[in-house]
Amino acid sequence: QKEVEQDPGPLSVPEGAIVSLNCTYSNSAFQYFMWYRQYSRKGPELLMYTYSSGNKEDGRFTAQVDKSSKYISLFIRDSQPSDSATYLCAQGPDSWGKLQFGAGTQVVVTP
């Protein structure tokens, strides 16, 4: 079993819709949970991170962590075609900074 599970999608939504992405994790030792965004033919880049449980909002993006159910979520409000990318959840870091990534969910926002 992978430490971080994520539905690979693809997830197709119309412009303006809310995108909901989810991951589950098995290792409770790590306190930080991240979302990375990866555009086609590019490397992943950090979108946002949360510490322990709770919500964090950054513009149209909201990240949630529910440690009781080991669930990580990312919501994108008022989705735009420019949000079309693969979104990877991750948890960590270990003592040397390593992160465990989910497989990534491909999101397509259609105009």
Partner 1 sequence: DSGVTQTPKHLITATGQRVTLRCSPRSGDLSVYWYQQSLDQGLQFLIQYYNGEERAKGNILERFSAQQFPDLHSELNLSSLELGDSALYFCASSVVGSGGAPGELFFGEGSRLTVL
- Residues of this chain that interact with partner 1 (CB under 8 A) are 6, 8, 32, 34, 41-46, 49, 51, 88, 90, 92-94, 96-104
Distance CA 75, CA 20 (A): 5
Closest CA to 109 of 8, 17, 28: 17
Distance CA 48, CA 60 (A): 12
User: Which residue, 76 or 89, is less far from partner 1 as judged by CB?
Assistant: 89
User: Which residue, 88 or 107, is less far from partner 1 as judged by CB?
Assistant: 88
| Radius of gyration of the chain from its Cα atoms, rounded to whole angstroms | 13
User: Which residue, 17 or 70, is less far from partner 1 as judged by CB?
Assistant: 70
Element (H, E) at 20: strand 19-25
User: Which residue, 17 or 67, is less far from partner 1 as judged by CB?
Assistant: 67
